[in-house]
């Protein structure tokens, strides 16, 4: 039986599930220990998102920065000054994350590096006995995500994936409404992400490695290539060696919501994709800037769309989700949500709910949940399996597009004809780096 058919059970138990989910956050509980219990954390990848996570962590009583690691000395020095300003303390600096992990006093690390580094750094941190908060998507490939899942089970440490929407109150509310069957039987879940940056960066010539950058370490397990600014800070995700484009960037967040709400825990029956580079601009991009992906389940479709270079979209939102049911449609993004009823003549089939702004939650709450889980055993809002699954759905959309084939899974959840796609499922690491073995 397809995993999605479990929705019939969910409809009758959704209220209890939603209540349990909210109660499990652990953010407002009283810790049985001191709220100022010392927790030493480090950061690997300091430029943008990673440093924002560290700033949130340092606002939690008892959390101290034990070290900063980055391959760009210019970034590293700037972040050292930022930490000094926030805490009054000077953290040790590292250019090689493995040296940071040797610190026996280090309890946990935040990983904010490009996707091609997530697998090695997460697993090495777990092997060193550290708890891990790793940014999304969990991994650059399907096999790497599976390896991280196994490592989390093997080493028994807390691993939070940075899909921070799960710590947002209005996302929890929406998930509860879907599980309660508020919209009736679902027909389609639409997801879209229209962002200007999705058309890719400008084309630039290769150039010498900037002073202070350990470029070989930045590449790590990825293939050896000349340095290029449009494959470096902030724009690497449109190159297949490092990322997967909009569907693994924003898709890790948006695809996660229906998987969470419908309790989907396996692959779809099939997935197909169409698209291409349709922006009309000559940009540095390896993947489709315009893409549609259809995920087919037993009794519902899930449709992903992105249009890089555009900033408008359905329901006057440039990104979001629409749960389309027989009784109405629920539209949601980070700004808020609403319910649009279907009608029988003039009679609405469900109560209309005008747009409601989002409530509390986000990166700060997600980091707090991670720290609370380390200290008290509180339930994680986004454990490894949730991160692995949303990344998996992004990856299979890309694989379907790159191969121009409709991928199908058998009743046991195995990809039919997997051998044909293995080169896209399992990466080949550049020596001396090796794919972890557990």
CA distance 103 to 101: 5
Q: State the Cα–Cα distance between residues 45 and 76, nearest whole angstrom.
A: 9
- Structural domains of the chain ordered from first start: 22-166+366-388 (3.40.50.720), 169-359+389-425 (3.30.360.10)
Q: At 53, is the secondary structure helix, strand, or coil? A: helix
pLDDT, position 20: 35
Encode pLDDT of 109-133 as tens digits.
999 999 999 999 999 999 999 999 9
pLDDT in tens, 140-188: 999 999 999 999 999 999 999 999 999 999 999 999 999 999 999 999 9
Mean pLDDT, the chain, rounded, equals: 92
C-alpha angle with apex 404: 398 to 406, nearest 5 degrees?
85
What pLDDT is recorded for position 105?
97
Q: Which two tokens stand for residue 174?
A: 């929406």
Is-contact 134 44, C-beta < 8 A? no
pLDDT band, very low/low/confident/very high, at 368 (cuts 50, 70, 90): very high
Q: Is the pTM of this model over 0.85?
A: yes
Q: Which residues pair with 192 in a beta bridge?
A: 305, 320
- Show the DSSP H helices in 24-58 as ranges: 49-58
393 contacts: CB under 8 Å, gap ≥ 6 = 251, 255, 259, 295
CA 57 to CA 110: how far, in whole Å?
10
Q: Which helix (H) or strand (E) holds 171?
A: helix 169-179
The C-alpha angle with vertex 374 and arms to 371 and 376, in degrees rounded to 5, equals: 100
Q: Is the peptide bond before 6 cis (omega within 30 degrees of 0)?
A: no
Tokens 């540095």 belong to 284
Q: How confident is the model at residue 36 (pLDDT cuts 50, 70, 90)?
A: low
Q: Is the pLDDT of residue 262 over 50?
A: yes
Judge contact between 46 and 76, C-beta under 8 A: yes
Which of 136, 144, 160 has the alpha carbon at shortest distance from 41?
Answer: 160
Of the pLDDT bands very low, low, confident and very high (cuts 50, 70, 90), residue 50 is: very high
Return the pLDDT at 357: 93
8 A C-beta contact, residue 175 and residue 147: no
In the predicted structure, residue 22 carries a pLDDT above the cut 90: no
For residue 275, the cross-strand partners are 291
How big is the chain, counted in residues? 438
**Residue 391 class from Cβ within 10 Å (0-12 exposed, 13-18 middle, 19+ buried)?**
buried
């Amino acid at each position: 039986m397809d995993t999605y058919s479990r929705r019939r059970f969910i409809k009758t138990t959704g209220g209890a599930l939603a209540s349990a989910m909210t109660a499990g956050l652990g953010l407002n509980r009283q810790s049985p220990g001191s709220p100022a219990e010392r927790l030493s954390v480090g950061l690997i990848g300091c430029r943008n998102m990673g440093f924002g996570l560290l700033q949130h962590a340092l606002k939690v009583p008892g959390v101290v920065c034990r070290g900063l690691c980055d391959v760009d000395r210019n970034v590293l020095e700037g972040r050292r000054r930022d930490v000094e300003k926030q805490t009054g303390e000077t953290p040790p600096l590292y250019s090689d994350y493995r040296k940071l992990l040797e610190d026996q006093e280090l309890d946990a690390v935040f990983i904010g590096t490009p996707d091609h580094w997530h697998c090695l750094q997460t697993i090495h941190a777990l092997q060193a006995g550290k708890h891990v908060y790793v940014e999304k998507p969990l991994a650059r490939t399907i096999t790497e995500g599976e390896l991280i899942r196994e490592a989390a089970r093997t080493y028994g440490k807390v691993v939070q994936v940075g899909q921070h929407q799960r710590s947002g109150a209005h996302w929890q509310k929406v998930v509860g409404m879907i599980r309660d069957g508020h919209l009736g039987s679902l027909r389609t879940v639409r997801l879209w992400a229209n962002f200007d940056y999705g058309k890719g960066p400008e084309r630039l010539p290769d150039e010498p490695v900037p002073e202070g950058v350990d470029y070989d370490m930045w590449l790590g397990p990825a293939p050896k290539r000349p340095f290029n600014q449009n494959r470096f800070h902030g724009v690497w995700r449109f190159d297949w060696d490092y990322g997967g484009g909009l569907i693994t960037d924003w898709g890790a967040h948006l695809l996660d919501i229906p998987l969470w709400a419908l309790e989907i825990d396996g692959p779809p029956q099939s997935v197909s994709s169409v698209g291409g580079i349709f922006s009309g601009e000559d940009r540095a991009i390896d993947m489709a800037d315009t893409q549609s992906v259809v995920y087919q389940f037993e009794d519902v479709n899930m449709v992903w769309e992105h249009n890089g270079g555009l900033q408008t979209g359905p329901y006057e939102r440039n990104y979001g989700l629409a749960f389309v049911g027989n009784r109405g449609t629920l539209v949601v993004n980070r700004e808020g949500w609403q319910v649009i009823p279907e009608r029988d003549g003039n009679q609405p089939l469900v109560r209309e709910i005008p747009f409601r702004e989002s409530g509390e939650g986000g990166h700060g709450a997600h980091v707090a949940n991670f720290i609370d889980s380390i200290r008290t055993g509180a339930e994680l809002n986004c454990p490894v399996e949730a991160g692995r699954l949303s990344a998996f759905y992004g990856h299979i959309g890309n694989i379907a597009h790159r191969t121009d084939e409709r991928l199908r899974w058998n009743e046991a959840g195995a990809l039919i004809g997997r051998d044909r796609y293995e080169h896209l499922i399992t990466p080949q690491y550049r020596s001396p780096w090796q794919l972890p073995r557990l």
